Structure 1
Amino acid sequence: MNITICFASLAPEPWVQALQQALPGAQVSAWVPGAPQADHAIVWAPPQQFIDEQSGLKTLFNIGAGVDALLQLKLPPALKVVRLDDAGMSVQMAEYVCHAVIRHFREFDAYDADTQMGKWSYLKPRNRADFAVGVMGLGVLGERVTKALQVFEFPVNGYSRSPKDLPGIRCFSGTQALPQFLQATRVLVNLMPLTPETENMLNQGTLSHLQKGGYVINVARGKHLVEDDLIALIDTGHLAGATLDVFRTEPLPKEHPFWQHPKITVTPHTSARTLREESIAQIVGKIQALQRGEAINGVVDPLRGY
C-alpha cells in the first residue's frame, strides 16, 4: 500500500513520519511531480497536476473539515473524497464561538475601550433571554457548538438544509424556513458548508432579517459573506458588529476595511486548526476499515458538496 501526502502550505515531513509509524507496512512519502502512483492521498489544497498525475488513487483524505476547494478541481468520478469528522476541531470551534458570543454579550469591547482611557465604568447587564444564538450548519462542528452554548444558558436556534432534532435546540430546516430562523436570532454563527447554493448567502437580504442589534460570527468560509453588505448593515446600525475568522482573500489584504472597522473583530482563520495526531489516528482508522471492506464516515457527496 502506497500513501502520498500533498500539502499546499504545510510541511509534510512530520505527517510522513507519523503515518509510517502508524502503518509500518505501508510506503509513505511526500508527493513531488512525477512520483509513483499511490493508493491513498492525504491532502490540503493540492494542485490539479497532483490529481492528474495520481490517476490511480482510491481515496483522497482532506485534512480540513471543508472540501469546497477540492471539489473545484477536476476529480475522477470513482475517486472517493473523505473529510475529517472532527480530529480535535470541534472543541476548538466551540471555544472560539463561545468566546466571541460572550465577549459581545458581556460588552467586553466597550470595557476595553474604557480601561485604555483609564475609565472605571459600569454597563447594565443584558438579559440573556434576549440574545438567542442561531447556529447555521448542524454538522459535527455545529452540533458541538450548540451544546457548548447551552452550558451558558443562551437560547439556541439551529438551521440546516435537512431536518434535525437536537435536544434543547429550536431547529429550522430548508430554504423556506431561513427567514424565520434569522428573525428568531440575535447572534448568528455561520458554520455552513460552502457550495454554489450557499455562496453569498450572508447578504443584505438575509442579514436584514436578523433582530436589530444583531451580531455575526463567520467561521465557515469567506465566500459565504458579501462583505460590503455586512459593513453597510453595521454602519446603518442594524447590526452591532461581527467577529470574522474567514475571508474571501486570505491572508486578508492590509488595505481591507475590516482591519480598521471599530465594530469588526478579525482573526487569521484560526477558529479550529487541524491537530496532526488526532487527524492521523482518524485517517489510519479509516484506511484500515477500507482494507477490511467496511464503510467509513466522512465520504463526500460531490452533488451536495459535503
Structure 2
Amino acid sequence: MINVLFGAKPDMWAEYEAPLNDAFAKSGLQVDLSVDHAPSEVDYIIYSPAGTVSDFTPFTRCKAVMNLWAGVDSIVGNQTLTQPLCRMVDDSLSRGMVEWVVGHTLRHHLGMDRHILGQDGVWRSEFFPPVAPDRPVTILGIGQLGAACGQALHQLGFPVTGWSRSAMDIPNIRCLQGDAGLQKALTGAEIVILLLPHTPRTENILNAERLALLASGACVINPGRGPLIDDNALLAALDSGQIGHATLDVFRAEPLPADHPFWAQPQVTVTPHIAATTRPETSSGIIADNIKRGEAGEPFLHLVDRTVGY
C-alpha cells in the first residue's frame, strides 16, 4: 500500500478526493489517500500553498512532493524540503492560460472597453485599432505557458517577441535573452505579458526604467507572479499615461487588500488569480502517473531545479 498525504489547502479536499482516488485506481496503484497520515508513514505528499504541511522534516519516508500549482515559489525556498519536488504541468493549465491571455490581449488591442463601458448614447466612431500585425507583443517568460500563449497570438497575426534568461528557439516567436535582449524586447512593445516565475532575479523585473521603454500608452498584462512588477512604478506610469492599462491577475498579497491603490486606479483591471486554474480531473491523472513512475523506479516528470527556482 502506498500512503499519499493530501497536504494541500483543507478546503480543496472535497473536490480532489474522488478524482485522485479514481486516477489512482485507473493507474493500477494501491493507494491509501488521506489528510492525516502519520508523517513517518507517508510515501508522497500532494502540496499547495497555504496547505497543511510547512515542515517536511518529519516525512522521512517521503519519496516526492507533488505540487498542485505550476508555480513553486511558495515552497522552493523551504529549507526543510529535501525530497524531490514536482511542479504541475497540465494541458488544461496551458489552455486556461492561453484563453485568458488571448482574451485580455484582444480586449486591449481592440479597445473594447470604449464601447462596453461607454453605453451612454455617444457614437464613438473616432477610434479603430490597427490590425494585429501592427501591434507588437512581448512575452517575458517563454516556458511552456509563455510559448503556448505566443503561438496562439502568432496565429492571430501579432508579431510576438519572447524573452528568457537563457537562449530559446521557438518557431514563430522572436526569441531574445539576457539583459541586452530584455531591453530590446521591451523597447516599443505595445502589449507586454509577464509569464516568468518569481525568483530573486525576476523580482521587480518590470520597474520604472523598463516601463519607460514601452510604447506610450502600452498595456501590461500579468498572469505570472505579483512581485515581477514594481507596484509603485506601475502606478506612477499609469498616472503619467506611459502605461494605458494594466490587467493584473497576481499580486504580492492575495487576496488583494481592499485598500490597495490598484482597486482605485481606473486603468487597472484586477482579476482574482484565475488565469490558469488547476483542474482536479486532469491534475489528478498527472499526479497518479508521476507516482506510478516513482514506484517503478523511473525518473519523476517536471522536477524542479532548486538552483534556479523552477
- The bucket for the TM-score relative to the shorter chain is over 0.9
Q: Aligned partners of 2:281 and 2:126: how far apart in 1?
A: 44
In structure 2, what is the equivalent of residue 28 of structure 1?
33
Distance 1:9 1:151, change over 3 A: farther
Per-residue CA distance 1:75-110 (angstroms, 9 max, x = gap):
343x10000112411111111111111111111111
TM-score of the pair, normalised by structure 1: 0.93
TM superposition score normalised by structure 2: 0.92
- With 10-19 and 91-100 compared, the bigger mean Cα shift is at 10-19
Q: In the alignment, what sits opposite 1:249?
A: 253
Alpha-carbon separation, structure 2, partners of 1:123 and 1:101 = 21
Distance (Å, rounded) in 2 between the aligned partners of 1:163 and 1:9: 40
Residue 87 of structure 1 contacts residue 274 of structure 1 at CA under 8 Å; is this kept in 2?
no
Q: Which runs of 4+ in 1 moved over 6 A?
A: none
Question: Structure 1 CA distance, aligned partners of 2:170 and 2:193?
Answer: 17
Structure 2 counterpart of 1:266, which letter? V
**1:211 CA drift (Å):** 1.8
Residues 264-288 of structure 1: CA deviation (Å, up to 9, x unaligned): 1110011111011110111111111
Q: Which amino acid aligns with 1:51?
A: F
Matched, 1:126 2:129: yes
Q: Superposed, which structure 2 residues align to 1:13-24 within 5 Å?
A: 13-24=14-25
| Residue number among 158, 164, 173 corresponding to 2:177 in the alignment | 173
Check the 8 A contact 1:48/1:74 in 2, yes or no. Answer: no
For structure 2, list consecutive stretches of 5 or more residues without a partner in the other structure.
none
Q: CA deviation at 1:47?
A: 5.3
Q: Give per-residue Cα distances to partners, 1:94-143, cap 9 Å, x unaligned.
A: 1111111111111111112321x232321432223331111111111111
Question: Please, which moves more after superposition, 98-107 or 10-19?
Answer: 10-19
1:87/1:228 Cα in 2 relative to 1: closer, same or farther (>3 Å)? same
Identity among equivalent positions (%) equals: 33
Distance 2:254 2:245 in 1: 21
Provide the residue aligned with 1:278 in structure 2. 282
Contact 1:55 / 1:76 at 8 angstroms: preserved in 2? Answer: no
Please say if residues 22 and 284 of structure 1, whose CA atoms lie closer than 8 Å, have aligned partners that are also in contact: yes
Work out whether residues 189 and 214 of structure 2, in 8 Å CA contact, stay in contact via their aligned partners in 1. Answer: yes
Give the gaps of 5 or more residues in structure 1: none
1:57 to 62, 82, 95: 62
> What does residue 187 of structure 1 align with?
191
Deviations, residues 167-215 of structure 1 (Å, cap 9, x unaligned): 1111101223110111142100000011111111111112211122211
Which segment drifts farther, 64-73 or 1-10? 1-10
Aligned alpha-carbon RMSD (Å): 1.7
Q: Is the 8 A contact 1:87 1:275 kept in 2?
A: no
